[in-house]
Amino acid sequence: MAEALSPGAEAEGGPGTVAQHNGVAGCGSGAREPAGEADERAPAAAAAPAAAPDPGKRKKRRGGAGERVVPPPKKRRTGVSFGDEHFAETSYYFEGGLRKVRPYFFDFRTYCKGRWVGRSLQHVFSTEFRAQPLAYYEAAIRAGRLHLNEEPDNDFLRNTVHRHEPPVTAEPIRLLAENEDVVVVDKPSSIPVHPCGRFRHNTVIFILGKEHQLKELHPLHRLDRLTSGVLMFAKTALVSERIHEQVRDRQLEKEYVCRVEGEFATEEVTCREPILVVSYKVGVCRVDPRGKPCETVFQRLSYNGHSSVVRCRPLTGRTHQIRVHLQFLGHPILNDPIYNSSAWGPSRGRGGHIPKTDEELLRDLVAEHQAKQGLEVLDLCEGDLSSGPSDPIAPSSVLAKDNSEMMATAAQGVDGVIEAGPEHLDPPGTASETDDLNQETDPLCSECRLARQDPLPQDLVMFLHALRYKGPDFEYVSPMPPWAQDDWRED
């Protein structure tokens, strides 16, 4: 349901609206800069008669007389905060072996940052929400999609977007076990565990809630979106904490199976190469002496003359650890879209040999997947490329984690942005919130004007599967996938 806005909030929705922050002179009275002047003016704090703090630095407020206090954003426990009102935002349909989500309107909300003080909404969005051109945000302001300070005690920015989620496999999520403590499923490849990036309803958390009535689940571990296999959820916070303590104490054992290029060694192989994150945004890692210590034990199970099935036991839990170690060993996963890519150079990263800089590597990876219309593999959309594909290793980069929520709000999905309540908004000017046609189309949405080619279901499968998850008092195993069978042959 669309929120009812106060007249003041409507008046502040014009293109020249200035972002203000608590603790800055003039904010307490609710004063606003005149429309159209903010781009040329100094920050509002500079106009204060008294010495003003740096507007980019936010002072801690203790709630003195007459002062407003902005509470810090509450960290959402992924999965626990989702209920029926969220699951009802839209619906699924199935086509060509794919699970698809009907487009829908959704609110993203975030607290205003100190560095935005005295800047117009146009300037904030053109410099920090760069997933769309400025013309889009000007039209969104006129259409009532962007709202500032609707609640008098919070400096809050709300952005209504039209979300299009990428399709995932139509393969069902099978329940392996369920008791009073845990739910264990066999996750298909291509489905993220929880909402992230452009995915919300096409996630394990939402599918379990919508189709199996399993709600308020606590993820106990994560699998990459393209990885299939055993995935555990706790039903209570107490069980979640108990198992996480076992993780910290290294009491859990994980076992994976994969199919790799070439003939893997018959003897057991242990790889202890450190792994460094090249880009948090694109999601790429590599072996590097500056990286974090890692250890993975590999054992070949079979060889069919072209590729090998290998059992993997990661003894540490770094991002993409198995995939990066296999690439280093010269046996990347057969259909790994990142670590078996020609973007790494002629040797494809074997032995850590990468004849290019990190920036060149990221550029070439993005270009390769962009040409294949496969940016979702890198958890990117076209808007994310507007300021360049590479974010150096330092997470303080403008493209890195600290700023990802600002760029991705209009790109229709992000970790870390505070989500709105269960509003199921109509596009402005429409009468019914239940009209599927109204929900599925939006004159401001560039995605609505694109005709994207659907991936083939087989293209959504990567040959890496979580086979076993074992603890002091439990053990869960999923069936061996078809591609790991002895008689499997490449097409």
Q: Which residues are catalytic?
A: 224
Q: What is the DSSP letter of 24?
A: S
Nearest to 294 by CA among 255, 322, 265: 322
Within 10 Å of residue 70's Cβ, how many Cβ atoms?
16
Cα separation of 463 and 261, whole Å? Answer: 11
CA-CA distances (angstroms) from residue 477 to 177, 283, 404, 462, 480?
A: 10, 28, 36, 19, 9
Residues shown for the chain: 491
CA-CA distances (angstroms) from residue 52 to 24, 43, 49, 58, 243?
A: 8, 10, 8, 11, 49
DSSP for 55-115 reads TTSPPP----TT---PPPPPPP-TTTT--HHHHTT--EEEETTEEEE--EEEEEEEEPPGG
Cα separation of 379 and 234, whole Å? Answer: 27
Cα separation of 457 and 200, whole Å? Answer: 20
Residue indicated by tokens 């809050």:
156
User: In degrees rounded to 5, what are phi and psi of residue 105?
Assistant: -90, 145
Q: What is the DSSP letter of 381?
A: -
Task: State the Rg of the chain over Cα.
Answer: 24
Q: Which residues contact 64 (CB under 8 A, 6 or more apart)?
A: none
Cα separation of 409 and 445, whole Å? Answer: 14
CA-CA distances (angstroms) from residue 86 to 195, 317, 386, 426?
A: 12, 31, 31, 15
CA-CA distances (angstroms) from residue 135 to 122, 131, 242, 447?
A: 9, 12, 51, 15
Nearest to 337 by CA among 462, 479, 428: 462
- 8 Å CB contact between 192 and 226: no
- DSSP SS3 for 286: strand
- 8 Å CB contact between 447 and 101: no
Within 10 Å of residue 437's Cβ, how many Cβ atoms?
8
Tokens at 120, concatenated: 């117009």
Cα separation of 424 and 422, whole Å? Answer: 6
